[in-house]
Structure 1
Amino acid sequence: MTSVEFGLDTFGDVTAGPDGELLPYGQVIRNVVEQAVLADEVGVDVFGLGEHHRDDYAVSAPEIVLATIAGRTRRIKLGTAVTVLSSDEPVRVYERFATLAAVSQGRAEITLGRGSFTESFPLFGYDLGDYERLFAEKADLMAELLTEKPVTWQGTVRPPLRDQHVYPKTEAGTIPTWIGVGGSPESVVRAARLGFPLVLAIIGGDPARFAPYVGLYHRALAEFGRDRLPVAVHAPGFVAATDEEAVETVWPHARKVITRIGAERGWPPLTRDRFEADVTEGAWHVGSPETVATKIARTVREVGAQRFDLKYSVGTLPHEDLMSAIHLYGTEVIPRVRELLA
């Protein structure tokens, strides 16, 4: 367990400035670059950027932001959380990340997913009725492209390929690529069938309830004749000097963003009791460095994960608070988790 990797994920949430007003998108993106640079400096292993196409997130082209980060960092792996493959073109996804692998000297990764929002479907002209078919066929094609050999493929969602090379080829011969899932057994089995490592998005409830999905994943890998592959956890959280400070800092921003999304999806508004219960017993890893480290270690053990990614941005939570949390995560939380796991 001491070989577990530790990452940070953000969606480029549009944050509030010192005056409480929302920052312009350009400043949010520049702040994300600074957050990644700090993460590299304090020893975080992986930095992931989500892709969204709505007004509360600034990052719709994560590869460009990651390429900028690559030029400012030395060792941190750079990936997505997630790339919405259903509404993208797999050949172009491969080309963009192969290019990122070149400029970052092999630090590029991809996490493929269907995403938790659907704005990209009408934006790029896709029918939500094809939701499952789009992802299934494109994930299958992506697996072929990542071999970096001539690809012959035929499906229904794009024209066929016949003995097609795609460039640039990477120096490593492939791009590390994961599949993110939110708790669908079918998605877990698909990841195993295609040979992709698994990322579990644990955004609500006790992380221990996801352990059966990991068991299913490893059984499916064995049945498909594949070697054991790593599992990662993506979960929300925030680190401050004390438990009370962490909760009080995050709460108003969490309430606002979750209540807004809930109104779109028919959820009830987030209450303080519900939030505190999820901090204590659920998916939120919020508190002092010791509290967060203890909870991460428990999550990693119970799920059987080889990577833990903290989704550290929470709605309009200001850049300065995010920088402080990143510093504590790298300098105090990660070393403590390694001690606990050892």
Structure 2
Amino acid sequence: MVDPEERRARYVTNSDGAPPLPPPGGYRGARRTPDPAAVAVQNAVATSETPKQPANAVGWIALVSGILFAVILLGTFLAGGTDTIYGVTMLALQLLVLGVAIAALVTRRGRRLGAVALSIALLFNTATVGAMGAVQTSASGSYEGQKTEEQKHEEAYPGVKGTPNSDILAQPSLEEVRESSEATLADIRERLSDEFGYTWTQAGDEDLRPERNGYGGESLLVQYTSAKWGTNEPIRDHDRKLEVMDVIDDVLAEHDMWGIISLNDASSGLDESMLEKLYGSADPRSQDVWEWYSDDYPGPRRFYATIYDTSHDETGDFTASREAQAARTGEPVEGLQIMFLAPELLSDADRAEFEQKLQDYPGY
């Protein structure tokens, strides 16, 4: 009987009982695991030795057509041809470019250039460039491509649609309205200064805005807005406000204006909710704003007297808005403001041209 310790020592120290060694060169048909480093080197060498295939003709055609289409669109946009951009021809060209780009994408050698062509087509197309052209056309008002000769003729009408030209020629000129308005404002300031000691600040200069003629163009008429004048002192007492308006009413009567009326109380015809929205309250005694009005109908002059009073502002919102307005215009935060407005005025300098152009518009 073999001792177990002896048998264990025999397997540890000797080769007795171990599997036989493989024959030289290994067993036939045995699979071998390649060295990963060697495989990487072989692949790199094979890749470096394989020549790169140039892009095919379809890829180049897609790229060139995409660039040419983008150049055509931008040229049309810069020339102001918004209508041409949205035309049938441009849409057909865009579909053609898109089709060529997609055709290049499905080919292995043209895929890269096809992708570039498709990117150009997505960036420069009738939608994006046409939108820019529409914005430019809207800002400049140049819609020549869609206008008939009759529309272009009406666009140059010197008057205002719905206003008889005889009334325009018969009413005071811009220069006359300016002179009478400035004189009236000066008299109002003088009377209120004499009676109540108010001092004044001018908020901005007069403004002249061209009037639209109702046919898509500008007339030769302008809207006149005088400079605003405001008291440097606040006016908060209800009775004092009424006294101020009485003085203004007297001066307006001396300058051939109708009696001044209140727009901020129930006599104006506005309901309480609207009065609260416009003036801060339906009760004139607690309103943030007083607004009174007069005109010289059938003349063009319109007069506005407005009193701003922050003493009734419980939330602080009205005060903040007035302070912001004062920062923009330089006007006082509180107190009285007076101004004139007159629409559809013809300057003496434009009268001859106005009458000359009217000869091309019989019956207007």
TM-score over 0.5 for the pair? no
Higher helix share: 2
Which TM-score tier does this pair reach, normalised by the shorter chain? under 0.3
Under a length normalisation based on structure 2, what TM-score does the superposition of the two structures give?
0.20
- The one of the two structures with greater contact order (alpha-carbon pairs below 8 A, sep at least 6) is 1
